[in-house]
Amino acid sequence: MSCPAEAITMEAAERLPGEENKYREEKYAASYEINMLRCIFCGLCEEACPKDAIYLTQTFAPANYQRKGFIYKKEDL
């Protein structure tokens, strides 16, 4: 399942030797980005998220006046 609008990009990474306690899973996202300028609110990301960190609600995010404010990176989530 992938986002039809290609609003989500992610780069996978694997745990390196010596990082046993850093992550519980063997694989994790090295980089993760959600571009709300491309989002069509289809909800596929909500279904695919393994941690239930993404969910759609009826509330709206406050307006932003710069493009970089609409692109959420891994550390912003």
Task: Return d(Cα 65, Cα 12) in angstroms, integer.
Answer: 31
Tokens read off for 18: 């010596």
User: What is the model's pTM?
Assistant: 0.61
Task: Return d(Cα 74, Cα 77) in angstroms, integer.
Answer: 6
Query: What are the sequence ranges of the domains in the chain?
Result: 8-76
Task: Return d(Cα 33, Cα 10) in angstroms, integer.
Answer: 6
- Give the pLDDT of residue 25: 61
CATH architecture for segment(s) 8-76: 2-Layer Sandwich (3.30)
Give the pLDDT confidence of 5-57 residue by residue, as tens digits.
788 887 877 777 776 666 666 666 777 788 888 888 888 888 777 677 788 88
Task: Return d(Cα 6, Cα 60) in angstroms, integer.
Answer: 21
Task: Return d(Cα 63, Cα 73) in angstroms, integer.
Answer: 18
- Give the pLDDT of residue 61: 67
- Give the pLDDT of residue 4: 72
Task: Return d(Cα 44, Cα 62) in angstroms, integer.
Answer: 23
